[in-house]
Structure 1
Amino acid sequence: MSLDFTASVRRAQAGDAAAFAELYSLVYKDLYRIALLNLNNQHDASDVVSDTVLEAYSSIGKLKDEKAFKAWITKILTVKIKNKRKEYSQINNFREELDDLESSDKDVGSTEINVDGLNVMDGFRQLNSEERMVLSLSIVSGYKSEEIAKMFGTNANTVRSKVARAKSKLKQLIT
């Protein structure tokens, strides 16, 4: 992903809203794709992208390396996605507690995973959040291992290993 955002970022940092709108138009589709793949809900994906853009707009002055704009805004998005997942987890825990109170009988059969007819998206949804994130950044958005490593503060070899393991796991899930 080698678009040069330097000029637009500098103008946006100087307060040019049109320059930020230009930057937004260049990254929106990738941000939305990553959010949708990780949250599996269009409304929530739109919400986290909107929150990401608002935060990026208000803190664009903090960006030190103009060329790293896309990685920077994607890092903001990944934090928003993690926060949304925590919210999901809290809601699900609350629902489970309510279900436990309503009925002590659990239908074990309803929690089984149907392996027949499993497609790629079903397999993708079964990956853990870290696996979904590295695959969506690597495969869907085309980020290089080095760029993903910068976003997560790790090294590129670790990212490559995680991508390979996630691909292998996904392959097992869909075959």
Structure 2
Amino acid sequence: MEIRQSTESDRSSILEIHQHAFGNEKGGVIATLVDDLMHDMTAVPVLSLVAVEGKRLVGHVLFTKAEVDGAEVPLSAQILAPLAILPDSQKAGVGLRLINEGLEQLKKSGVDFVFVLGHADYYPRCGFRPAGSLGLCAPYPIPEEHAGAWMVQELNHNYLGQIKGTVHCSKALSEPQHWRE
């Protein structure tokens, strides 16, 4: 399997991956979000990676710009959203490979923090930990029963636990419906 940056010619396959991974209704919403994020200037810089088996795209992950309002030092942040793997390729490590490659590239480019709102049992496998308890709030309040789903990973420096604030994301991702279960 190859992990590489996506190209414009991958666009329809990427949208199909999200559609199939999340099912028809939710998949359509997620595919629209991905398309919007890829063209949202407030999301730049964007890191869009695909997993390719043979000539077939089987997975996609997107990282977009975020800011931490209230941070006392300048820092660079990204949000991982969304990650999708075709159903017949799930549970084979594709998602972990996409995430880890993305984190490595972002670390090399100087990104300090990566945030994710996702499954509390899955993302810690890649080094994510709860962000709210560290003083880093999501763009919208996360219900207490889902507090562990809002996570962060520090890639550079040693700011975690010292920086507090609210994360702000791109215009396309800042809609409240993207922050609910």
TM-score of Structure 1 vs Structure 2, range by shorter chain? 0.3 to 0.5
Q: Which has the higher helix share?
A: 1
**Structure whose CA Rg is larger:** 1
Q: Which has the higher strand share?
A: 2
The TM-score with structure 1 as length reference comes to: 0.33
